[in-house]
Amino acid sequence: MIALLMRDLRLATRAGGGFGLGLAFFLIVCTLVPFGVGPEGGTLARIAPGILWVGALLACLLSLDRIFALDWEDGSLDLLATAPLPLEGAVLVKAAAHWITTGLPLVLAAPVFGVLLHLPAAAQPWLLVSLGVGTPALSMLGAFGAAITVGLRRGGLLMSLLVLPLYVPTLIFGAEAVRRGAAGADGATPLVFLSGITLAVLATMPFAAAAALRVNLR
């Protein structure tokens, strides 16, 4: 499993791996929103929690099809499926690699983007923690969507349609925690729900994703 994780990380960081694209996309979203809604700090501060979460979600979505599509094309997925490593484990590892290359940089960079959008300082820790807790669920659900659509022509668009509704609960609780933080309230309740969703997703989705992969490999 470690070998697979290291390989995926190495592939992502080598030339053409697309590492950092998600972060650049996040930056662009956070730059475009003020152009759209106007530069008043008050307005921006009010919508910042939502924009930051939606931006993170879209940035995450952007790189999902890479999770399995490349391995599918070059035949690695066939070989992984016959390897001693259970396919469920491979799915979990690949989702983890996706999170480390996409989710984690977003979490770490989010406070900077928060400043760009006038997010109140009180909300910054909530943003950091809620993204940190929520983005693994985004990667894992995305791996499920990628597993379902691997090998389909124009799978990317379909995958967005399948995955985005699954992101709704995560988005609601994640953005709510930040919004409560921004209002000076305690965001712990939504955060607990968010952690619950993430843990449940991490526990169950590898099985669903592996089942979908097995169907697609037939």
Partner 1 sequence: MSIWEYANPVKFMRTSSAILPWVAAGAALCLGAGLVWGFLTPQDYKQGSTVKIMFLHVPAAMMAINIWVMMLAASLIWLIRRHHVSALAAKAAAPVGAVMTVIALLTGAIWGQPMWGTWWEWDPRLTAFLILFLFYLGYIALWSAVDNPDSAADLTGVLCLVGSVFAVLSRYAVNFWNQGLHQGASLSVKAGERVDPTYKYPLYLCMLGFFLLFVTLLLIRTRTEIRRRRTAALLAREVRG
Partner 2 sequence: MTRLSVRDLAVARGGRRVAEGIGFDLDAGQALILRGPNGIGKTTLLRTVAGLQPPVQGTVTADPDAIAYAGHADGLKSALTVAENLAFWSQVFGGPGPGAALAALDLGRLSDRPAAMLSAGQKRRLGLARLLVTGRPVWVLDEPTVSLDTASVALFAAVIRAHLGGGGSALMATHIDLALPEARVLDLGPHRAGDGGPTGPGRTRAPAGFDEAFA
Encoded tokens for 103: 């989710």
Concatenating the DSSP letter of every residue in 83-113 gives SSS-HHHHHHHHHHHHIIIIIHHHHHHHHHH
Tell me how far, at minimum, the Cβ of 167 lies from partner 1, in Å. Answer: 9
Q: Can residue 169 be called a binding residue for partner 1 (CB under 8 A)?
A: yes
Interatomic CA distance for residues 178 and 129, integer angstroms:
9
Q: Can residue 11 be called a binding residue for partner 1 (CB under 8 A)?
A: no
Chosen from partner 1, partner 2, none, partner binding at 81 (C-beta under 5 to 8 Å by type): partner 2
Chosen from partner 2, partner 1, none, partner binding at 164 (C-beta under 5 to 8 Å by type): partner 1
Q: Can residue 148 be called a binding residue for partner 1 (CB under 8 A)?
A: yes
Token pair 């000076």 in the structure block, residue: 184
Binding segment for partner 1 (CB under 8 A), chosen from 24-32, 77-85, 91-99, 142-150, is 142-150
Interatomic CA distance for residues 213 and 218, integer angstroms:
9
Tell me how far, at minimum, the Cβ of 128 lies from partner 1, in Å. Answer: 21
For residues 46 and 33, is the Cβ–Cβ distance under 8 A?
Answer: no
- The single residue among 45, 166, 183, 202 that binds partner 1, judged by CB under 8 A, is 166
For residues 141 and 163, is the Cβ–Cβ distance under 8 A?
Answer: yes
**188-217 helix and 168-182 helix, angle to the nearest 10 degrees:** 160
Q: Which is nearer to partner 1, 26 or 173 (CB)?
A: 173
| Residue-wise burial string across 112-134, b where 16 or more C-beta atoms lie within 10 A, e elsewhere | ebbebbbbbeebbebbbbbbbbb
Q: Which is nearer to partner 2, 15 or 168 (CB)?
A: 15
Binding site for partner 1 (CB under 8 A): 144, 148-149, 152-155, 158, 161-162, 164-166, 168-169, 172-173, 176, 190, 193, 197, 205, 208, 211-212, 215-216, 218
